[in-house]
Amino acid sequence: MTSAAPGKGLDTRIGIFGGGQLGRMMALEARRMGVHTTVLDPDPRCSAGQVADRLLTAPFADAGAARQLAQSCDVLTYEFEHIDAAVVSDAASVRPVHPSLEVLKLVQHRVQQKQGLAQLGFPLAQFQQVDTWQDMQQAVSVIGLPAVLKTATSGYDGKGQAVLRQTSDVEPSYQQLRPRSDMLVLEQFIHFEKELSVICARDRQGNLACYPAVENIHRNNILDITLAPARVSQEVAEAAQTLAQAVAQKLRVIGLVCVEMFLTKDNTLLINELAPRPHNSGHWTLDACATSQFEQLVRILCGLPLGSTQQTTPAVMANLLGDVWLAANGKPGFAAALDVPGVKLHLYGKHGTLPGRKMGHLTALAPTQDAALARALAARGGLTGANSPN
């Protein structure tokens, strides 16, 4: 097999750890550009495997498979961060991994992530590391209630966290979460005005391209709606972009980093967490940006110039969870949804419908933000028959 030097244009072969929807949308963009992708995932029917050029079916902990991925590609990336860093490290000795192993390790551990960001001077909600029951009591006395207790590892979409509202919540939450992680972190509960995120792209030369700040609405701790752009002042939007750029620069990210933030009631931005990969809050870029987040990552990995992050029209993204299929008895009303003007449907080809499982999303485009939101909600309602007169 011939091997192109990494980052030499469109003949670069990209290896992706993880075959979920992020890998799928990236592989689709790569395919459009004629770039070859190989996905590593344990599930032979995974989302990304259906569209990538090649699928390596193996457990993520299989160092031999990771090596094989590295040897058959020019450059590697990952679409989720809960992956064994030792395996990625081994693969990184064969081919470059972007974003770097250091960035991956930092985000894998919530406490290290927070400490790292705090040391670099980034604004965060007050937090305390918790190892023991004594630490827990001490942390509650410093931070006060309400507070949020989170596991340091393996938490995503609100898994591995509990909101402590009163003193009687403290011990049960500690007992429940402590065995799940090597460490916990207690965080001040932020009565935020809005949740925002910004995706920033950085190439190997250090050039930056930042997407507009977007507004995220969560339901049951899972992203539900993204409004692009965020309904905030220009000043706040620019401050959010400046913060995300600073994160990308200080961490020397090569690739994408999504910076999730809280906007407090006094207009302060606090970083909640980072994701060094394409992010659910950037799916709208496929339909409403000159360059999607996925194309941007493909460009960076291939050593091509960054694309414009210019937004072409107001857009609202609505996630489609397994609950939609369950509410529609397995047959969502796609015709009703697509009857709404300006709606783009994205399904991830997942086998098996579970509540809370991300099955797809739709993006509604319209001349105004309000109209885009109304269209997104109407289209999603159409999937479950919620818009029908009876």
Find the residue with minimal CB distance to ligand AMP. Answer: 190
Distance (Å, whole) CA 245 – CA 78: 21
The single residue among 82, 165, 218, 219 that binds ligand AMP, judged by CB under 6 A, is 218
Binding to ligand AMP by CB under 6 A, coded x per residue (else -) over 261-300, reads -----------xx---------------------------
The answer to whether 110 touches 124, Cβ cutoff 8 Å, is no
- Assess 189 for contact with ligand AMP (CB under 6 A): yes
- Assess 19 for contact with ligand AMP (CB under 6 A): no
The answer to whether 136 touches 174, Cβ cutoff 8 Å, is yes
Residue with tokens 């799940």: 180
- Assess 125 for contact with ligand AMP (CB under 6 A): yes
For ligand AMP (CB under 6 A), the number of binding residues is: 13
CA-wise closest residue to 248 among 43, 81, 98, 50: 98
Distance (Å, whole) CA 384 – CA 386: 5
**Shortest Cβ distance from residue 68 to ligand AMP (Å)?**
33
Nearest residue (CB) to ligand AMP, 32 versus 218 = 218
Query: Which sign does the torsion angle of CA 45, 63, 104, 159 carry?
Result: positive
Q: Which amino acid is at 111?
A: V
Sheet holding 161-164, edge to edge: 127-130, 184-188, 147-151, 161-164
Beta bridge partners of 67: none
The answer to whether 200 touches 208, Cβ cutoff 8 Å, is yes
**Shortest Cβ distance from residue 42 to ligand AMP (Å)?**
24
- Assess 155 for contact with ligand AMP (CB under 6 A): yes
The single residue among 42, 96, 123, 158 that binds ligand AMP, judged by CB under 6 A, is 158
- Assess 117 for contact with ligand AMP (CB under 6 A): no
- Assess 221 for contact with ligand AMP (CB under 6 A): yes
- Assess 148 for contact with ligand AMP (CB under 6 A): yes
- Assess 143 for contact with ligand AMP (CB under 6 A): no
Binding stretches for ligand AMP (CB under 6 A): 125, 148, 155, 158, 187-190, 195, 218, 221, 272-273
